[in-house]
Structure 1
């Protein structure tokens, strides 16, 4: 039972991050912090070896460093970087390249949909949904948390934490 609860932390975090990023164009720090703090508990419960643990941590640190290098160019938000790095802990080095590919693909498709949405005139009905007005009016910000979540759900079955529980 505990293993199912622990494994559900990752997709729940993605879902909350995606909804928040879509609505506010921000990913709260507590989501990434939750993933980082829950990872050692999950690793301990699932019997991760020192090699598995250290390789996941090294991967997450590498993603964090490279992500913040991209962040400095203005192409990626800090919340997106932190969510991606925290997710790298759970996905693991073996599944991370395919996870990243799926995140990039999902983010690209979603970004195209957002660009198309923003190229249409703002409709009066958007006034009933302030988050739609914000999403439509923001020409620069892109909610990549949605792409991370979509790519994550697409590749969840390959994540190291998921495989540990479900084989």
Structure 2
């Protein structure tokens, strides 16, 4: 029974991260409850797994650094506020061991996403998009931003197995 509870606590991370990426792609928003649920889920997972407090302190430090980095990127208007909060909450879960992969994959995925959106919004491709869901048509609109939560979600999912928490899954 305890193993089931531990597994469910760990599954909070991928489920919410995927939901946040999808929500950002379809609405350009990440509701505050999603990063907040990740923070609460982190606390539950730490207690459920009985992680050593030194490791938890390092994970919290990584989350705080990610929060400041996210705030800086938001201030520079590189990402939205929801993206910054998701970035910080993911950093909390991923800790020091997952951070390098998280940063690398998020950066590459963000660049790839931006290039894809530039192509989608180009003068040659945009006229070919006649109909579709409203969220897809919005992605194809010139002047719209990049739903960077998609890249953050991809980076987080790729890095999760390398983290101290993800190793328990």
Scaled by the length of structure 1, the TM-score of the pair is 0.91
Question: 1-side partners of 2:128 and 2:133: how far apart?
Answer: 11
In 2, Cα distance between equivalents of 1:134 and 1:82: 23
Structure 1: stretches of 5+ with no match in the other structure: none
- TM-aligned CA deviation for residue 159 of structure 1: 2.0
Report the CA distance shift for 1:114/1:133 in structure 2 as closer, same or farther (over 3 A): same
Q: Does the CA contact (< 8 Å) of 2:101 and 2:155 recur in 1?
A: no
Spell out, residue by residue over 1:109-162, the C-alpha distance to the aligned partner (whole angstroms, 9 max, x if none): 122111111112244533x41111211115241111111111222222212211
Q: Is the 8 A contact 2:83 2:149 kept in 1?
A: yes
Assess if the C-alpha contact under 8 Å between 1:18 and 1:146 holds in 2.
yes
After superposition, the C-alpha distances for 1:59-93 in whole angstroms (9 at most, x for unaligned) are 11111112111211111111111001001111111
Q: Which runs of 5+ in 2 are unaligned?
A: none
User: Which of the pair has the greater relative contact order for Cα pairs under 8 Å at 6+ separation?
Assistant: 1
- Map of 1:125 onto structure 2: 130
- How many residues align structurally? 164
* Dislocated runs of 4+, deviation >4 Å: none
2:104 maps to 101
2:13 counterpart residue number: 10
SS of the aligned residue for 1:139 comes to coil
| Whole-Å separation in 1 of the counterparts to 2:141 and 2:155 | 25
> Which position in structure 2 is the counterpart of 1:147?
151
Task: Give me the whole-angstrom Cα distance separating, in 1, the residues matched to 2:129 and 2:112.
Answer: 26
Matched, 1:115 2:125: no
Cα 1:152–1:66 change in 2 (3 A) is closer
Partners of 1:97 and 1:31 lie apart in 2 by 23
RMSD value, Cα: 1.5
